[in-house]
Amino acid sequence: MTAFKNGKQPCLLNQASGEVSIKWPSPLEHSLNASKEQLTILKYPIEFFVGIHQKTAKRTSEIIGESKVNVSAI
């Protein structure tokens, strides 16, 4: 991660084991204060995937890895 808000680091790297742990809040997280309008356009269950982007230029990047599509438990 190259940027994060509020001093909370979403990415933790364990150098000894090489494991990476990432925690992202969902749009339903109360601390994000999503508007009612934003929440009403969500479709349940929420499908998501994790993509790893490599910056190739100032405003462009390339996906170099991605997970399978996951489905929320909500």
In a domain? residue 30: yes
In a domain? residue 62: yes
Q: Are 5 and 32 in contact (CB under 8 A)?
A: no
For the segment 8-47, what is each residue's pLDDT rounded down to a tens digit? Answer: 666 777 777 877 777 777 777 777 788 888 888 888 888 8
Residue 68: pLDDT band (50, 70, 90) is very high
Domain count, the chain: 1
Range of the domain at 37: 11-71
State the pLDDT at residue 9: 65
State the pLDDT at residue 1: 45
pTM value is: 0.48
In a domain? residue 38: yes
In a domain? residue 67: yes
Question: How confident is the model over 35-60, as a mean pLDDT?
Answer: 85
Q: What are the φ/ψ torsions at residue 40 (nearest 5 degrees)?
A: -75, -20
